[in-house]
Amino acid sequence: MLCVYVEFEDNNPATVDITPIMYDDEASPGVVAPLASKTFTFASGAAILRGSSANYISQILTWDLVGAYKVGLHISNYSEDGNGHPINVWGYVI
């Protein structure tokens, strides 16, 4: 199972679409298939404050990776208020 969350800067009304991409186990990995995209949205009060920073983390969204040898995360869309707010995308396979 792939677990992903996005870390947003405070007061960043952003939306991020993440598309996991599955790869085969060849020496030169080939794309097997992209998985369905999921959308992460920052909303004050809905995200969790991360420690002493002013950053917030989204809820974790998951994908089933049965049979995947390698996986990559593609940021297929990122829209924010135009002020250049950074984001961090974190993914873990469990």
Domain boundaries, the chain: 2-93
Greatest alpha-carbon pair distance for the chain in Å reads 45
Q: Which of 9, 59, 70 is nearest to 35 (CA)?
A: 70
- What is the distance between the alpha carbons of residues 59 and 5, in angstroms, rounded to a whole number? 6
Q: Percent of the chain, pLDDT > 90?
A: 36
| pLDDT given at position 51 | 65
Q: Which two tokens stand for residue 51?
A: 């420690």
Q: Is the pLDDT of residue 59 over 60?
A: yes
pLDDT in tens, 14-54: 889 999 999 988 777 788 889 999 999 876 556 676 666 77
Q: Residue 91: is its pLDDT beyond 90? A: yes
> How much is the average pLDDT of 55-71?
87
The segment with the largest mean pLDDT, out of 37-46, 50-59, 75-84, is: 75-84
pLDDT at 10 over 80: no
Cα three-residue angle 92-43-88, rounded to 5 degrees: 35
Map tokens 């917030």 to a residue: 56
